[in-house]
Amino acid sequence: MGIYLPIAEISVNVFVLLAMGAAVGFLSGMFGVGGGFLITPLLIFYNIPPAIAVATGANQVIASSVSGVLSHMKRGTLDFKLGGVLLAGGIVGSTGGIYVFAFLRRLGQLDLFISLLYVVLLGTVGGLMLVESVNALRATRSGAAPVLKKSGQHNWIHRLPLKMRFRASKLFVSVIPVLGLGAGIGFLSSIMGVGGGFIMVPALIYLLKVPTNVVIGTSLFQIIFTSAYTTLVHATTNQTVDVVLAFLLMAGGVAGAQYGAKAGQRLRGEQLRALLALLVLAVAIRLAIDLFVTPPNLYSLSALDLN
């Protein structure tokens, strides 16, 4: 069944989009990430113009994050204070990102920049996670207890000034890295159409040493607001948010997410992380191939923005 997308201005198949949303929702529910890093490249592979894929991806991330946050709120695994500080940084980063986005679009380098960012970030995060989780899997097999947080272990981040106490996370840390992390994620959110969960989750665990059970809820909580802000700014400056497209993806996504969350409970933490790492790496490799392989069309057309 075809449907005409009012903003993307093309006809697409409803069932393809619903299935795409459901599949990504399943994975995002399973791994506790928003799924933006999968949705946006998938939409681009499906011929949705990258600018619209990015803005609509940000919109879609809100739905899956709200869905996820509700279940974390019920379990009490959410640090509102930490989320709030991350968010403050996120708004600043996101605003900067929108300007860079519009600038690159004018230059004709937006698509390349999006792809490069995806390859570099997904490649790095995926690679690091894979190494870590494989080590953890090995350790469990050899009988040693998995150690994620060693108490008393501090790195340079913990020596920064302006310390703040985050009770729910059992954390006493400087606000500088928290704000910086929020800003970085906000920047990526507006350029890549991702919530940033795939960076936020490992960063909170490994850099700030936030307990793993609080990380996902808190990350999803701040992603709701960062992507809401990104959606709003894209809607007002670029008019690239397609609600029909977003709604189809969300409808599939929220259903898939709840099933995914259940499936995720049957797997152990390090197994989940290893699978997520493989998934992230697969997307990175797929995008990297596109950068290096001779494209079928060397020429591309784009409308000229008069202003």
Partner 1 sequence: MRAPNAFATAIFLSLLAAAAPAKAQTPLTEGIQIGLSTDNVAITAGFSGADLTIFGSLENPDPLVARQGRYDVIVVLEGPPKPVVVRRKDRVLGVWVNLDSETFENVPMSYSVATTRPLQDITEPNSYKQLSLGASNLYMQPADAGDSPATIEEFTAALRERKSATGLYSENVGGVQFLSQNLFRATVRLAPNVPVGTHKARAFLFKSGLFIKESSAQLEIRKSGFEQSIFRVAHNYSFLYGIFAISLAMLTGWLGRVIFRKD
Which CB atom, from 251 or from 281, has the smaller least distance to partner 1?
251
* Widest Cα–Cα separation across the chain: 65
DSSP character for 148?
Answer: S
- Rounded to a whole number of angstroms, the minimum distance from the CB of residue 6 to partner 1 is 4
- Rounded to a whole number of angstroms, the minimum distance from the CB of residue 253 to partner 1 is 8
- Phi/psi for 5 (5° steps) reads -85, 120
Using alpha carbons, select from 125, 260, 129, 261 the residue that is nearest to residue 194: 125
Coil, helix or strand at residue 212: helix
CA–CA distance, 34 with 25 (Å, rounded to integer):
8
CA–CA distance, 19 with 2 (Å, rounded to integer):
14
- What string of DSSP letters covers 89-105? HHHHHHHHHHHHHHHHH
CA–CA distance, 146 with 160 (Å, rounded to integer):
29
- Rounded to a whole number of angstroms, the minimum distance from the CB of residue 79 to partner 1 is 20
139 with 146: CB under 8 angstroms?
A: yes
Tokens for 126?
Answer: 């995926």
- Rounded to a whole number of angstroms, the minimum distance from the CB of residue 73 to partner 1 is 10
Which CB atom, from 216 or from 241, has the smaller least distance to partner 1?
241
Which CB atom, from 27 or from 179, has the smaller least distance to partner 1?
27
Which CB atom, from 175 or from 191, has the smaller least distance to partner 1?
191
- Rounded to a whole number of angstroms, the minimum distance from the CB of residue 174 to partner 1 is 32
- Rounded to a whole number of angstroms, the minimum distance from the CB of residue 17 to partner 1 is 13
Which CB atom, from 60 or from 218, has the smaller least distance to partner 1?
60
Q: How far is CA 36 from the centre of its chain?
A: 5
Tokens for 238?
Answer: 């670029």
8 with 49: CB under 8 angstroms?
A: yes
- Rounded to a whole number of angstroms, the minimum distance from the CB of residue 50 to partner 1 is 12
Coil, helix or strand at residue 163: strand
Q: How many residues does the chain have?
A: 307
| Number of neighbours of residue 118 by Cβ within 10 angstroms | 24
Residues lying near partner 1 in the complex (CB under 8 A):
2-4, 6-7, 9-11, 59-60, 62-67, 70-71, 108-109, 111-112, 116, 224, 228, 231-236, 239, 241, 243-244, 246-247, 250-251, 253-255, 257-259, 261-262, 265, 291-292, 294-295, 297-304, 306
- Rounded to a whole number of angstroms, the minimum distance from the CB of residue 227 to partner 1 is 8
Which CB atom, from 139 or from 243, has the smaller least distance to partner 1?
243
CA–CA distance, 183 with 97 (Å, rounded to integer):
10
Which CB atom, from 45 or from 172, has the smaller least distance to partner 1?
45
Amino acid present at 45: F
Which CB atom, from 206 or from 247, has the smaller least distance to partner 1?
247
DSSP character for 165?
Answer: E
